[in-house]
Amino acid sequence: MEMILNKIMNFVKCGGITVTFPSKRTKAFGDPVLATKLHVRFATSAALNATIRNPSVGFGEGYMKGDVIFLAGSFNELMSFLAANKREFKRWFNIPLVRELPTNNKKHQQKNNISHHYDIGNGFYKLWLDKSMTYSCGYFSTPHTSLEDAQDQKRQHILRKLQLQKGMSLLDIGSGWGSLLISAAQKYRVSGLGITLSDEQLKHSRQAAHEAGVDNLVTFELANYQDLPAQGRKFDRVVSVGMFEHVGRAGMRTYFKTIDNILQDGGVSVLHTISSNNSYGGTNAWLEKYIFPGGRVPAVREIVDLLPQFGMSMVDYESLRLHYALTLEEWLRRYETHAKSIKNDYGTNFYRMWQMYLAVCAANFRAGGIDLSQFVLVKGLNNDLPLTRNYLYGGNRR
């Protein structure tokens, strides 16, 4: 397999990498100076063979086991290197983070998929999330904004996009640990429903709402969004943050059909999702296997194409790609400060698995392999929305 990797790396045209093979032979590829900044060692032949056969799963599993080691650089340098040489590596490795793979995401499987990721335990997430337990992209006014401030700014940014008014009803699909809906009730005095498929998130959300003094305005339920239309529920506003990635390709139509059924005419919906700027969406084989079973990153094109079929129009769009890179980099920094306790509680393989997940995602947002999209959608016609974006940044509402 050393010969095969040699042939692959001889196509390198941008940047450089140094590889130490299981035989302990070391070779630099590409620019010799840049190659000193990215040095990967394959400690076993099994790890090298697996990486060549299936780069995503093979490399990931090798890293988890400690058989793939960075002697210089990190996932940030690696993903930038791969992205820069994507044309050269195309025959061997599908460079984008996402590609279409079969996933198990039927309705009956969705709670198990969500529990796999989100029910690890609230104590685990408290180690590295901000105090509000917000597990989605922050909004950084500067690169030096604290994570706590960035998450609060993100919540306020989304709530302004929703154009909330006192007395409105708001549905939060995939409400996480509850911070967005609680903020909406505190600032705008709206009534709200948050739904999740995670037992741990539900428990935390209800307690947080009680402590914030808004449990008379908002409720949280363990529910699947697909069941809401049959209950006859209607809402003035609908928001979804970091949930759409879990619906799967077949579930995209179901999602928008549900929004069409439960959103009042003229109602506003904000969809906040990781996205692909390619013409296709998909998933990553290692992420599907270990981190997000049933997950799929949608393409922006796929979302936009579906909207007219369900009476929805897009009135605003914003990319927050670099904001998510900054968020993930801070999560990773905080996560790594708890390395000892996480290894003790969950094991070294688990620690490396989550470290790789956070690091690879941060690097891919930096390298442009994936994006973060915020869509502002309207059902039917609404001529009362602001004419400009001034309302988002402290100006007049109209």
Let me know how many helices (H) and strands (E) the chain has, helices first.
16, 11
Distance CA 45, CA 25 (A): 12
Distance CA 380, CA 311 (A): 6
Distance CA 16, CA 9 (A): 9
Longest Cα pair distance anywhere in the chain, in angstroms?
69
177, 134 contact by CB (below 8 A):
yes
Distance CA 250, CA 95 (A): 24
Distance of CA 79 to CAs 73, 197, 298, 356, 358, Å?
A: 11, 32, 20, 12, 13
The answer to whether 14 is a known catalytic residue is no
Distance CA 120, CA 145 (A): 28
- Tokens 């993930």, residue? 328
Residue 238, amino acid: V
Distance CA 121, CA 114 (A): 13
73, 18 contact by CB (below 8 A):
no
Distance of CA 182 to CAs 95, 254, 317, Å?
A: 40, 27, 24
Start-end of H helices in 85-146 = 107-118, 122-126
Name the catalytic one among 202, 361, 367, 376.
361
- List CB contacts of 156: < 8 A, sequence separation 6 or more: 183, 187
- What's the start-to-end Cα distance of the chain, in Å? 64
Sheet architecture: strand order including 39-42: 26-30, 16-20, 39-42, 68-72
What is the distance, to the nearest Å, from the Cα of residue 355 to the centroid of all Cα atoms in its chain?
15
Active-site positions read 361
